[in-house]
Amino acid sequence: MPDSSPPARHILSFAQTLKGGGVERALLRMADGWARAGRQVTLVIGDPQGALAHELPAGVAVRTLGSGSYRALFGLPAIVRATAPDIIFCPGNHYSAAAWWLRRRLGAGCPPLVGKISNALVRPDLPRGAGAAYRGWLRMHPGFLDRVVAMTPAMAVEAVEAMALPPARVAVIPNPPALPIRGAAPPPLPDGRFILGVGRLAPQKRWDRLIAALPRLADPSVSLLILGEGDERSALERLVARLGLADRVMMPGHAPDPLPAIARADLVALTSEFEGVPGVVREALAAGTPVVATDSSVAIHELIDTPDRGSVVEPGDRAALVAALNHWLAPGRPRPAPLVEQGPDPIAAYLALFDTLAVQSGR
């Protein structure tokens, strides 16, 4: 009898740690979907401990590298040789150096590599030298990635231009939507009205902008809740203390499931310097919660595509940020209607792409 199994029977992907982050959380949702669709899925994790460990799907095999350092990912070639996957998925820009290393070490024996764009490819925030190096690095990607996945059409256009890729080598597939996590402890919420930020406490997110805006709001009773953890915690706590905002700012750490907080918030704010397609913005719009976001990605205007869904401000414009926050906090301001996303199922779209590449590679 002919073999009826799909061409991409075995999918391998990888991550540095499970400490938290949108890239890793989306990867776990995709891995779960691929496994539920009957595929063999292997996740290689440097350090599997962390806030997202409880989200590891039951049907996924996990291989560990023994260290959460990025350098540990350069042990991937040995695991790929041992497990012989049909497809390798690179889950974001942060991991593309590991994908480059895989291609270099395995050469013609490397399975097809698919890389997802998780962050902006145009970075005006970088100094001139670093910006030139970054642009040069992006131009190397066609040499080691067989396909690039962009999460929105505008990001696909940016990929074609920044990476000098033929459009046929770029697919547009969104991340699968976040779903409530059964049994997850709800995050602590302020008693009254509050602004919500969700994301790592990292320099990229620029939570200092949001904290600094709080004393300038028209309503002094509005609180700020930031759900996330990271290296910037101490600096942000010092800023809160310096501004005398200890009674208005809550930073309880990572939330296993931020969806209840998103639905309850008066608005969701994103003040990043650069972004990809922020999952929290999609989740807020799906819940009918307005969004104030910096113009940190070409995808932001695709998500906040009408003024009744939210406001987009320039990253360094403090006055515009305060004005946008005050606009959405004004008494009686109507909330947007929950946004129902249209389009093909992301899990099925990824599997179709993987099967196509597996057939073309002859695996």
Q: What are phi and psi of 316, to 5 degrees?
A: -100, 10
Matching fold, domains 10-177+344-361 and 194-329: yes
pLDDT (average), residues 271-291: 95
pLDDT score at 71: 96
Domain 194-329 fold? Rossmann fold (3.40.50)
For position 142, what pLDDT does the model report? Answer: 97
- Please state the three-class secondary structure of 237-280 as a single string: HHHHHHCCCCCCEEEEECCCCCHHHHHHCCEEEECCCCCCCCHH
Q: Which pTM was predicted?
A: 0.91
Of 120-124, 150-154, 188-192, minimum mean pLDDT range: 120-124
Integer Cα distance of 358 and 363 in angstroms: 6
DSSP 129: H
- Give the three-state DSSP class for 290: coil
Q: What is the pLDDT of residues 215-254, one digit of tens each?
A: 999 999 999 999 999 999 999 999 999 999 999 999 999 9
Angle at Cα 276 formed by Cα 66 and Cα 185, nearest 5°? 60
- The one-letter code for the residue type at 349 is A
Distance, in Å, from the CA atom of 285 to the CA atom of 262, rounded to the nearest integer, reads 9
Q: Token digits for 270?
A: 């994103």
Of 301, 298, 290, the residue nearest 324 (C-alpha):
290
pLDDT band at 343 (very low <50, low <70, confident <90, very high): confident
pLDDT band at 256 (very low <50, low <70, confident <90, very high): confident
Asked if pLDDT for residue 360 goes beyond 70, the answer is yes
What confidence category does residue 3 fall into, taking pLDDT thresholds of 50, 70 and 90?
A: low
Instruction: Please name the residues in contact with 325: beta carbons below 8 A apart, sequence gap of 6 or more.
Output: 195, 213, 217, 267, 269, 292
Distances (CA, A) of 342 to 18, 118, 174, 176, 244: 30, 21, 11, 12, 44
Nearest to 279 by CA among 25, 50, 30, 34: 25
Count of H-run helices and E-run strands, the chain? 12, 13
Q: What pLDDT was estimated at residue 125?
A: 85
CATH architecture of 10-177+344-361: 3-Layer(aba) Sandwich (3.40)
pLDDT of residue 1: 42
The pair phi, psi for residue 341, each rounded to 5°, is -75, 140
Domain boundaries, the chain: 10-177+344-361, 194-329
Mean pLDDT of 160-173: 96
- In this prediction, residue 293 carries a pLDDT of 98
Q: Which two tokens stand for residue 67?
A: 């260290």
Q: Is the pLDDT of residue 2 over 90?
A: no
Q: Three-state DSSP class for 132?
A: helix
Separation between Cα atoms, residue 263 and residue 200, nearest integer Å? 20
